[in-house]
Amino acid sequence: MPEQDRLRAAGAAIRRLVEERAARNNRVPPEDVQTAAAALLVSLWDAAEKHGVSPESWGWHNHLPQAALNTIHASHRYRPTRRATRHNGVR
């Protein structure tokens, strides 16, 4: 599938999720979050294909779009801060 078609399909998958979420709790991520999530979803689909996950699989249509939207939305809502971990010594 050409890249532009994949991006359109990813955008449709993200919009479907956003509409489902909006119906449940009236929270809709901003348009820039949806666009970035669609771009990430295209990359996830590419990686999934390399690992034998096909467009016919349940995870392709459910898990991957959800992962893309959650990841991008979280990165826009929660800016990284330097938290204390046992690895960086911050206390």
Check if the beta carbon of residue 50 is closer than 8 Å to that of residue 14.
no
Whole-prediction pTM: 0.75
Query: CA torsion, points 27, 32, 46, 7, in degrees to nearest 10?
Result: 100
CB count within 10 Å of CB 36 equals 20
Read off the pLDDT of residues 32-75 as tens digits, 9 standing for 90 and up. 999 999 999 999 999 999 999 988 888 888 899 999 998 998 88
Q: What are the percentages of helix, strand and coil residues in the chain, rounded to 5?
A: 70, 0, 30
